Amino acid sequence: MNGKITVFGAGNVGGAVVRRLVERKFCKSVVLVDKAPGKAAGIALDLLEASPIDLLEPVCVSGDDLEQTRDSEIVIITAGATRKEGMTRDDLLKINAAIVGECVAQAARYSPYAFYIIVSNPLNVMCHVAMRAGQLPRSRVVGMAGVLDTCRFQYFLSKELGVSVENVQAMVLGEHGEDMVPVPRYSTVAGIPVSELLPKERLDALIGRTRDGGAEIIRLMQTSAFYAPASAVIQMVSAVVMNKKKILPCAAFLTGQYGIHETFVGVPVKLGASGVEDVIEVALTDEEKSALVASAAKIKKQLAVIGETNG
């Protein structure tokens, strides 16, 4: 890898992602792009001025000239309007489809072989928009949210049980939104299924809080989350840059897996240097599969709203 990563969107999430990329030294340079004049330059300068104290090499630059993004190996799309209290992710549909489509079309002209991580909401639909706008192969586009939803579920389980977050593994499938599908059967604490450690009513409450995780933060601080989403992005970047071949829950383009066709749905995938190397199919109960199919059906309806057709 040549060590260049581009981030589109210099908002809270984009800024947090850039900071984490610099801290983790995953790349030789980070290019930050934003349509607002001076915003990306200001954040880049702020990070650069901290470098003597942080003892980090000043690798962040503002991408006002898109030529600076050329041959990026990873492109992260965080650009778009953010949810306000009372809004659903669906309310952002048409606004962000235009924004994400423009960003990816620009990025793909300079970095057609990059791996694209989509963060903008509604996330599953934005992955489809990105793939079409950049004419990208499906293995080079994923959505971040499965990692985010899963880590929220892990945290809530660890807090409820009073155990280390390191002991908790969880699985959340489907849409990034109200129709996500947490799967307690595949969620464990030190290998013990959480269903053996918690009564059903408490487990159902934690599942509900996971589904409401983003909205809860918006209610508290009147803007969308950014620290946890940035950490989720970094975990995915790490899997690609270091060729970990790590299995992570991501929004991936399905071609019949789980009985779902031509839709970006959250499922376990193997991430490595070549992108999505495999989609992992786990056995689901009839109830779990029905919930996952229903989640995919909602995503397809959203695609129809913006005039996208599957295929």
Q: What amino acid positions are annotated as catalytic residues?
A: 176
AA identity, residue 116: Y
CA distance 87 to 248: 28
3-state class (DSSP) for residue 185: helix
- As a whole number of angstroms, the distance between CA 39 and CA 140 comes to 28
142 backbone dihedrals φ, ψ, rounded to 5°:
-140, 160
Residue 162 DSSP code: T
The beta strands (E) that lie in the chain are given as 4-8, 29-33, 60-62, 74-77, 115-118, 141-143, 168-169, 172-174, 180-182, 188-189, 192-193, 246-255, 261-272, 275-279
User: Is residue 107 a contact partner of residue 69, using CB atoms and an 8 Å limit?
Assistant: yes
**Cα 11 versus chain centre, distance:** 15
Closest to 251 (Cα-Cα) out of 243, 68, 242, 260: 260
E-strand ranges in 156-286 read: 168-169, 172-174, 180-182, 188-189, 192-193, 246-255, 261-272, 275-279
Find the helix packing angle between 12-24 and 227-241, rounded to 10°.
40
